[in-house]
A and B are shown apart, each in its own frame.
Chain A
Amino acid sequence: MRSDRAPLGLKIAAGLGLAFMHLPILLIFVYAFTTEDKSYQWPPPGFTTKWFGVTWARPDVWEALSLSVRVAAISTAIALVLGTLCAAAVSRTKFFGREVVSLMVILPIALPGIITGISLRSAFNLADIPFSFWTIVLGHATFCVVVVYNNAVARFRRTSGSLVEASMDLGADGFQTFRYVILPNIATALLAGGMLAFALSFDEVIVTTFTAGQQQTLPIWMLEELVRPRERPVTNVVAMVVVIVTFLPILGAYYLTRGTDTVAGQGK
């Protein structure tokens, strides 16, 4: 039995489920405009846009934002290089332990962040590496590589291997083949993977808590700010920015990888 219309009860249940997931986010936005700055009071006693100005003037916000952007950018860059290389190796060649490598690359995203965090922290301690910007980057790169790898490996699998041979056959050396055939075919997958990796890194809390020294990334800053009862709506303003900054790349990634289901180079 199959019908085109869902029963009314199911529609309502689905609507409630979606509302439950998304209304709290709207609340965050609403509190960014409240006049009450000590507690979250409903309904907000008044509306103001002054918190945007206050946020703009706070150097700690800028510091955290700048750190987050730099960490996300560099982890993404590392992930793009390593993830692509790894995906190419796993999908293009057969070697002993290939499945194991594939699993071990994906593992960091399946492991709870707290495990990754603790293990990295103790590893850094053992190796006497002081916590710094670079330890945060390393921590983030572990899971950023996974998203890039997953995107790239799927595209590599769908790109016919004979394309590379066709390019070589027509006179292109390895570099030219990469430049003119491989890169154009995996570009959207890399962009999508990169955007997802950036978004993941940008709002990461758990691994960061374990791998950061004194620095505060934006999510860490927000976490600390929540327990402090001063200028609370500043946190909400920042939250709004984070939602927008992470949502846009994810949306972009979705649009980039949509409609690429046809097998590239299948040719039949």
Chain B
Amino acid sequence: MRTSAVRFDGVSRHYGEVRAVDAVDLDIAEGEFFAMLGPSGSGKTTCLRLIAGFEQPTDGDIVIFGETAQGVPPYKRHVNTVFQDYALFPHLNVLDNVAYGLMIAGKPKRERHAAAEAALELVALPGYGARKPSELSGGQRQRVALARALINEPRVLLLDEPLGALDLKLREQMQDELKDLQRKLGITFIFVTHDQGEALSMADRVAVFNEGKIVQIGKPEDIYYRPEVPFVADFVGSSNVLPPRVVEKMAGQWSHASVRPEAVKLVDAGIGADGLHATVHSTAFIGTATRVSLDLDGFSMVALLPKGARIPDAGEQVHVTWGSEDLHLMDAA
């Protein structure tokens, strides 16, 4: 059993009536790359701030490496943060920004500057020390923020929407680099994102947040293929959620079920008699596939049709089918 890096025991953070975080239990192992995924306002960022110490839980306990974080101020926690807006000090150059933690720790100038140079090397920004943060691009600022957070050799690195402000290409590159960095350093990374692609591709485990609670926690494949609740099916990769009355007819069980859009097949209404009757609402070409929105009896579905498939016209009547292995039953709603 690996050591637990961060553990939440029934942690809540309430602001008056608002339950930003509500009775969350969580156990993140040492060396794990852990993602907190959810829409804005779901409590994921508050959880991160609770670990960093910027917020105090109204209830429950947070345990960091076996010690309670109760009443421990941020500056006494062996946890560092990469902020969403990077929060680089505008009055300091890059080198002094990175060396800030060591300056506070009272390390002599020569030593901390050498360490800062090494940290900049680690994030592939050697020789940028003399510049001001305002002279850097978004991607470079991100790397500086990363180097600054790593200089104190934290045991847990917290990343708040670290890639949110970057463009798509840079984002994909940084995803790989962050993953490599985490493997190289072997420390725990906890990162918050609203981008399911980011969470699925980078993390060892993902916790999906909704309304202050964790609705599902597990490996990316589990979250993606085996959502336990309709919210996860819908939020992670936009699965189709089938209402219980339809599922009961098809699978004989009263529960929600999900079908991934890429598993959905369309058959001309005239040919197949099996499957669900649907009307094509609209189609949209999205590059790798064509997205077809379908109206069914009282609910809607989305199908992703691969290149080469016949694309129906809007208003056309079709039958919707999928392989029985693609239908994933969820716990009764």
Contact = CB atoms under 8 A, between A and B. Distances in A.
Given A170-B101, A173-B73, 6 more contacts: A171-B75, A171-B105, A185-B89, A266-B85, A267-B83, A267-B87
B165 A169 contact: no
14 contacts: A160-B85, A165-B83, A169-B54, A169-B74, A169-B75, A169-B79, A169-B149, A170-B75, A171-B75, A172-B100, A173-B73, A264-B90, A267-B145, A268-B85
Contacts of A180: 100, 103-104
Interface in A242-268: 262, 264-268
Interface in B81-98: 81, 83-91
A170 B81 CA distance: 8
B80 interface: yes
Contact of B87 (A160, A173, A176, A262): A160
Contacts of B84: 162
A184 interface: yes
Given A180-B104, A268-B165, A170 B80 contact: yes
A153 B137 CA distance: 28
A88 interface: no
B212 interface: no
A90 to B, nearest CB: 20
A171 B101 contact: yes
Contacts of A184: 91
A167 interface: yes
B104 A170 contact: yes
A56 to B, nearest CB: 44
Nearest to A161: B87
Interface residues of A, number: 23
Interface residues of B, number: 33
Contacts of A123: none
Nearest to B83: A162
B148 interface: yes
B141 interface: yes
Nearest to A183: B91
A53 B145 CA distance: 62
Given A267-B141, A268-B138, A172 B85 contact: no
B91 A185 contact: yes
B120 interface: no
Contacts of A115: none
Contacts of B236: none
Contact of A166 (B87, B151, B165): B87
Contacts of B73: 168, 173
A265 B85 contact: yes
A52 to B, nearest CB: 44
Contacts of A165: 52, 54, 74, 81, 83, 87
B36 to A, nearest CB: 18
B86 A267 contact: yes
A181 interface: yes
B227 interface: no
B15 to A, nearest CB: 11
A170 B145 CA distance: 11
B271 to A, nearest CB: 53
B74 A265 contact: no
Task: Specify which of B80, B89, B90 lies most central, judged by the most chain A CB atoms within 10 Å of its CB.
Answer: B90
B152 interface: yes
Given A176-B104, A267-B141, A268-B138, A169 B81 contact: yes
Nearest to B158: A169
Nearest to A260: B90
A71 B88 CA distance: 40
Contacts of B253: none
Contact of B152 (A162, A171, A173): A171
Nearest to A184: B91
Contacts of B101: 170-171
Closest 7 CB pairs of A and B: A162-B87, A166-B87, A170-B101, A267-B86, A168-B74, A264-B90, A184-B91
B133 interface: yes
A181 B103 CA distance: 12
A162 B74 CA distance: 13
A181 B97 CA distance: 11
Interface in B36-92: 52-54, 73-75, 79-81, 83-91
A184 B92 CA distance: 9
A163 interface: yes
Given A166-B81, A170-B148, A265 B87 contact: yes
Contacts of B74: 165, 168-169
Contacts of B53: 168
